[in-house]
Structure 1
Amino acid sequence: MIVCVCRRISDREIARHAHAGMGFDEIQFELGVAMQCGRCEGCARDVVAQCHATRPVAALRQETAESASGACAV
């Protein structure tokens, strides 16, 4: 879905950058999202927040499972 109509930036593109560890401000600078009319800022921030919210939980669960089993992270 297109989030930023002014720059033709999709939610997938924003999510890709968020999954790479970038925050909203970095994504805004890199892609130019929410820099013209600003109507997409709320949606773009939601996409970034959802990406950041889903990743740490999975990583935390994996680390907890590894530490419980005695596995060593390389």
Structure 2
Amino acid sequence: MIVCSCNALSHKDIESAIDAGASRPSDIYTARKCRAQCGNCVPGMVCLLRQALQNRKHMQAAVSQTSVLPAAANQAVYL
């Protein structure tokens, strides 16, 4: 889906920029080597950014919960 018609940016372009580390609309424009023109796309970009950052936060929380070992597993057992 086209999010920015002035620069012909699709949601895939925006997702790629986010995956590369973009965290603001200006980062997305920079990553895609363009600039804001009319600004109508900014709310859509912000929505995609929030969603991606929220998903990333949930994924990190899930990974950290699964990587925590029980206390007994961290202790060495000597026989």
TM-score between both structures, scaled by the size of structure 2: 0.74
Once the two structures are superposed, the pairs formed by residues 1-74 of structure 1 within 5 Å of their partners are 1-24=1-24, 25-31=26-32, 32=34, 35-68=36-69
**Aligned equivalents of 1:36, 1:12: Cα separation in 2:** 20
Aligned length: 70
CA radius of gyration, larger in: 2
Runs of 4+ in 1 over 2 A off after TM superposition: 28-33, 68-71
C-alpha distance in 2, partners of 1:68/1:54? 24
Q: Which runs of 5+ in 1 are unaligned?
A: none
Larger RCO, structure (CA 8 Å, separation 6 or more): 1
- The whole-number CA distance in structure 1 between the counterparts of 2:29 and 2:46 is 10
Q: Secondary structure at the match of 2:69?
A: helix
Identical counterparts, % of pairs:
23
Consecutive unaligned residues in structure 2, runs of 5 or more:
75-79
Deviation for aligned residue 1:41:
0.6
- Choose between structure 1 and 2: higher helix proportion: 1
Q: Residues 22-72 of structure 1, C-alpha deviation per residue, up to 9 Å, x if partnerless?
A: 112211222235x1111111001111111111012112211111113569x
CA RMSD of aligned residues (A): 2.0
